[in-house]
Structure 1
Amino acid sequence: MPHRVDEGLAGTMKRVAATLKTAEIPFALGGSFAVYAHGGHSSDHDVDFLIREQDKERALQELAGVGFETEEPPEDWLVKVFEEGRMVDLIYRPVETPVTDETLADTERISVEAIYMPVLSATQLMIHKLMSFSQHHCDFAHGLPVARSLRELIDWERVARETAASPYAEAFLVLLDRLDVVPFPARDAVVRGG
């Protein structure tokens, strides 16, 4: 059963989504709220939207116009908006990969807290999660609940294929196999698809 979400944060998420929809700015819900939208469990409590980099200035203008505080932090992969202290990340380059029209097409329209919006696919969510692991950040405890709760929705062969360059992702997939969460994708399937 999915965990309950913070109602204030959910309200902020809905207002950002409604503003982006009204402005016809392409976006997708990502992060822990996307996991929640798919019926999964995430231990994180943040709101992430994916947008294209060319839309970031207009997104900030539209959100500022309806009362959000905006911030362009020194990191060059996201911008932030705030409502009464609640933060929303607008990410245009997750895991060093630009958000494209193709990224935003890899979504499902789901009713999230009573508002329909594009939600990043469970497969793409898992790919982003695995590609975020590095020698500086490799906390599998955040990835395991996501993998367990969304395993039937995830194309594991695609995950293995698209994360093949990462030893951390491979270690995580081996761990899932050893824990009997999902079998490790067959090598020939990974190579054949790549």
Structure 2
Amino acid sequence: MPHRVDEGLAGTMKRVAASLKTAEIPFALGGSFAVYAHGGHSSDHDVDFLIREQDKERALQELAKVGFQTEEPPEDWLVKVYEDNRMVDLIYRPVETPVTDETLADTERISVEAIYMPVLSATQLMIHKLLSYSQHHCDFAQGLPVARSLREQIDWARVRRETAKSPYAEAFLVLLDRLDVVSLEPDEGKA
């Protein structure tokens, strides 16, 4: 059975994307809606967009102009906008790494609910998911459906390289190998 998204949240996502496009603020759709855009399994409780930190104030101003409520929470890696009770995160430093022009170039232009927008690549989505795991949050049950549903679109060698310092990512990749979701080839660069 295909996954359906919350129509109200999808409408909010489209209005934010259209406003950012109109204001010529570079962005990429991330999180569960990006997984959905790639045809994967996702849950949708909010919308995530990646923006550069230098664009956060202008993004908040532009979105406030079109009726969104804005919030600058104490966390120093995102700002938020709301439409009714629907939340949109504007993330400028996911997994402790600043969003750069290169981050925003690692996208595909995809029609999401009938509006074309840059969507973070499946590979980058998986990297962000794995690097978000820590001793305080390590719910592999959220990552498994994403890995299974997007596995053919993901550059697993790149995921492995870019998450090599995380023991949580390594454990997740071993789990994927043991479950026959993806095969982990031995790293030729290791002795």
The alpha carbon displacement at 1:44 in A equals: 4.3
| Partner SS, residue 2 of structure 1 | coil
Equivalent-residue separation in structure 1 for 2:138 and 2:110 (angstroms): 30
So what's the TM-score if we normalise by structure 2?
A: 0.94
Equivalent-residue separation in structure 2 for 1:32 and 1:178 (angstroms): 25
Cα pair distance change 1:2/1:154, threshold 3 Å: farther
The alpha carbon displacement at 1:85 in A equals: 1.1
| Partner SS, residue 55 of structure 1 | helix
**What are the Cα deviations for residues 156-189 of structure 1, in whole angstroms up to 9, with x where unaligned?**
000000000000000000000000000xxxxxxx
Given that 1:44 and 1:142 are in contact with CA atoms closer than 8 Å, whether structure 2 keeps it comes out as no
Equivalent-residue separation in structure 2 for 1:63 and 1:45 (angstroms): 20
Equivalent-residue separation in structure 1 for 2:130 and 2:153 (angstroms): 16
So what's the TM-score if we normalise by structure 1?
A: 0.93
> Structure 1 stretches of 5 or more lacking a match?
183-192
The alpha carbon displacement at 1:38 in A equals: 0.1
- Residue 30 (1) aligns with residue 34 (2): no
The alpha carbon displacement at 1:42 in A equals: 1.4
Equivalent-residue separation in structure 2 for 1:80 and 1:57 (angstroms): 11
Given that 1:68 and 1:82 are in contact with CA atoms closer than 8 Å, whether structure 2 keeps it comes out as yes
**What are the Cα deviations for residues 22-52 of structure 1, in whole angstroms up to 9, with x where unaligned?**
0000000000000000000013432000000
Equivalent-residue separation in structure 2 for 1:42 and 1:152 (angstroms): 16
Equivalent-residue separation in structure 2 for 1:2 and 1:175 (angstroms): 25
The alpha carbon displacement at 1:2 in A equals: 4.1
Equivalent-residue separation in structure 2 for 1:6 and 1:168 (angstroms): 31
Given that 1:107 and 1:118 are in contact with CA atoms closer than 8 Å, whether structure 2 keeps it comes out as yes
Cα pair distance change 1:96/1:117, threshold 3 Å: same
Displaced runs of 4+ in structure 1, greater than 2 A? none
Cα pair distance change 1:44/1:6, threshold 3 Å: closer
| Partner SS, residue 25 of structure 2 | coil
The alpha carbon displacement at 1:19 in A equals: 0.1
Identity, % of aligned positions: 92
| Partner SS, residue 13 of structure 1 | helix
**What are the Cα deviations for residues 48-96 of structure 1, in whole angstroms up to 9, with x where unaligned?**
0000000000000000000000000000000000001100000000000
Given that 1:2 and 1:36 are in contact with CA atoms closer than 8 Å, whether structure 2 keeps it comes out as no
Equivalent-residue separation in structure 1 for 2:109 and 2:128 (angstroms): 19
**What are the Cα deviations for residues 106-130 of structure 1, in whole angstroms up to 9, with x where unaligned?**
0000000000000000000000000
Q: Which moved more, 1:93-102 or 1:44-53?
A: 44-53
Given that 2:28 and 2:120 are in contact with CA atoms closer than 8 Å, whether structure 1 keeps it comes out as yes
| 1:59 aligned residue | 59
| 1:164 aligned residue | 164
